[in-house]
């Protein structure tokens, strides 16, 4: 993709290209705004990405390089996660001072079907008194500063061989190239924002860092990943006090612990939202196909979509599933597949359709209202 502007007008072929992207974006908007919750995982795969490396030093401070800071924090973060989250597996994009393409980093996460992607960076600003930590998610840059941060981090592309082909003509220094990021938004925007918010809470409340907030911008490495993804700017290497902090053992350990705790809180919340209990409920329901509602009127279903907009129930809108029910819950329309009197059947059905809806999860419904799943399980146990 090459973006050209002549006499203030975008090339016709580029306009067509972006119209296609816009259509894709609209198709994804229901998914992106769906409020999906990830299913409970037997094993969480978390990719920790130390930004820059090798011939790419990243931001340069008065006595240090960004690439060294990010690697130290990444290794400490991964170690904390592996030691303290028993069902987590950490994969590092790099564990030494080596150069790695942006595309290669994202591909590593995608290939390993990661559940979370966390890219660690240190910031730089022309005003030396700028300080604080911020976390980015893939989205629309809302001001010039966010765009500048994304452009700076994306410039590593220029060090790669044949980058114009690999990145479809994307020019990290051209504001026009970022038009694509005003049209496309991550399908995992809500989950990414949730994780980013938890990271900033930890920075602010636990290690007393100045909170610069959760922001959106067009980072290519986030754009290419297919899971909840964040890019953390841990501080400003251009600020003398923060550069010392980022290079100190204390600073690196505090930042790593904050990121680890945010991951732990995120995973715990997924478990809580999903409310999937290890309890197996034995009842007399039929084990063949979708069973009717038991006498308690509680049924178990698999939620596949949630949106503020009503969606027509047709197979085309639900990847050819024909057993969809609409549940109006507050200001949202929720869509669930199947209808089972046995919780274990619903769990099995979720696994069956997981390839179609990776973030589907089991819900309990009574008289067309969603119940807390654990409450429903407890009610059935009493019968």
Task: Enumerate the domain spans of the chain.
Answer: 5-272, 298-382
For 151-165, the pLDDT digits (tens) are: 555 555 555 566 555
- 66-80, 104-118, 307-321: the lowest-pLDDT one: 307-321
Q: Work out whether strand 361-366 and strand 369-371 pair parallel, antiparallel, or are unpaired.
A: antiparallel
For 248-298, the pLDDT digits (tens) are: 999 999 999 999 999 999 988 877 665 443 333 333 333 333 444 344 588
279-285 contacts: CB < 8 A, separation 24 or more? Answer: 279/377, 279/381, 280/343, 280/344, 281/342, 281/343, 281/344, 281/377, 281/380, 281/381, 283/341, 283/342, 283/380, 283/383, 285/340, 285/341, 285/342, 285/345
Domains 5-272 and 298-382 share a fold: no
Length of the chain: 383
For 44-56, the pLDDT digits (tens) are: 999 999 999 999 8
For residue 322, name the pLDDT band (cuts at 50, 70, 90): confident
* CB 332, CB 61: distance < 8 Å: no
- 65-74, 327-336, 349-358, 373-382: the lowest-pLDDT one: 373-382
* CB 103, CB 154: distance < 8 Å: no
For residue 34, name the pLDDT band (cuts at 50, 70, 90): very low
Q: Which fold has domain 5-272?
A: Aminopeptidase (3.40.630)
* Better-predicted residue by pLDDT, 346 or 331: 346
* Better-predicted residue by pLDDT, 377 or 85: 85
Q: Is the pLDDT of residue 184 over 60?
A: no
| E-only strand ranges, 220-360 | 229-236, 298-307, 324-329, 332-340
Q: Is the pLDDT of residue 231 over 50?
A: yes
> Nearest-CA neighbor of 237 among 155, 126, 145, 141?
126
* Better-predicted residue by pLDDT, 290 or 216: 216
pLDDT of residue 170: 59
Backbone angles phi, psi at 335, to 5 degrees: -125, 125
What pTM was estimated for this model as a whole? 0.59
Q: Which fold has domain 298-382?
A: Alpha-Beta Plaits (3.30.70)
Burial of 98 (C-beta count, 10 Å sphere; 0-12/13-18/19+): middle
For residue 226, name the pLDDT band (cuts at 50, 70, 90): confident
Cα gap 359→27, rounded to integer Å: 17
* CB 303, CB 334: distance < 8 Å: yes
Q: Is the pLDDT of residue 25 over 60?
A: no
* CB 256, CB 202: distance < 8 Å: no
* CB 275, CB 377: distance < 8 Å: no
Burial of 201 (C-beta count, 10 Å sphere; 0-12/13-18/19+): middle
For residue 42, name the pLDDT band (cuts at 50, 70, 90): low
Burial of 252 (C-beta count, 10 Å sphere; 0-12/13-18/19+): buried
For residue 221, name the pLDDT band (cuts at 50, 70, 90): confident
At 342 the three-state DSSP class reads coil
* CB 182, CB 116: distance < 8 Å: no
> Nearest-CA neighbor of 120 among 155, 74, 64, 179?
74
Average of per-residue pLDDT across 328-354: 85
């Amino acid at each position: 993709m090459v973006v050209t502007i002549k006499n203030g007008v975008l090339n016709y072929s580029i306009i067509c290209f972006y119209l296609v992207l816009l259509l894709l974006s609209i198709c994804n908007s229901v998914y992106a705004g769906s409020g999906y919750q990830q299913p409970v995982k037997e094993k969480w795969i978390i990719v920790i990405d130390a930004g820059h490396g090798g011939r790419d030093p990243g931001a340069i401070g008065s006595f240090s390089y960004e690439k060294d800071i990010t690697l130290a924090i990444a290794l400490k973060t991964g170690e904390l996660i592996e030691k303290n989250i028993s069902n987590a597996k950490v994969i590092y994009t790099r564990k030494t001072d080596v150069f790695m393409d942006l595309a290669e980093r994202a591909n590593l996460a995608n290939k390993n079907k990661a559940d979370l992607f966390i890219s660690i960076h240190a910031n730089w600003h022309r005003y030396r008194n700028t300080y604080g930590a911020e976390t980015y998610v893939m989205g629309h840059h809302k001001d010039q500063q966010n765009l500048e941060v994304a452009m700076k981090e994306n410039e590593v592309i220029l060090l790669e061989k044949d980058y114009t082909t690999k990145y479809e003509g994307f020019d990290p220094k051209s504001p026009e190239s970022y038009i694509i990021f005003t049209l496309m938004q991550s399908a995992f925007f809500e989950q990414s924002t949730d994780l980013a918010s938890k990271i900033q809470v930890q920075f602010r409340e636990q290690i007393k860092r100045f909170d610069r907030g959760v922001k959106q911008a067009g980072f290519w490495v986030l754009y290419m990943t297919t899971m909840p993804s964040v890019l953390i700017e841990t501080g400003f290497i251009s600020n003398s006090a923060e550069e010392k902090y980022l290079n100190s053992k204390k600073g690196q350990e505090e930042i790593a612990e904050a990121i680890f705790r945010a991951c732990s809180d995120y995973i715990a919340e997924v478990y809580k939202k999903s409310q999937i209990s290890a309890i197996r409920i034995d009842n007399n329901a039929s084990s063949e196909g979708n069973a009717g509602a038991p006498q308690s009127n509680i049924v178990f279903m698999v939620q596949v979509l949630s949106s503020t907009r009503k969606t027509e129930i047709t197979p085309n809108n639900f990847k050819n599933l024909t057993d969809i029910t609409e549940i109006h819950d507050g200001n949202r329309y929720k869509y669930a597949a199947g209808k089972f009197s046995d919780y274990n059947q619903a769990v099995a059905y979720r696994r069956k359709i997981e390839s179609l809806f990776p973030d589907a999860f089991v819900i309990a419904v009574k008289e067309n209202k969603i119940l807390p799943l654990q409450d429903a399980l407890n009610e059935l146990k009493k019968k």
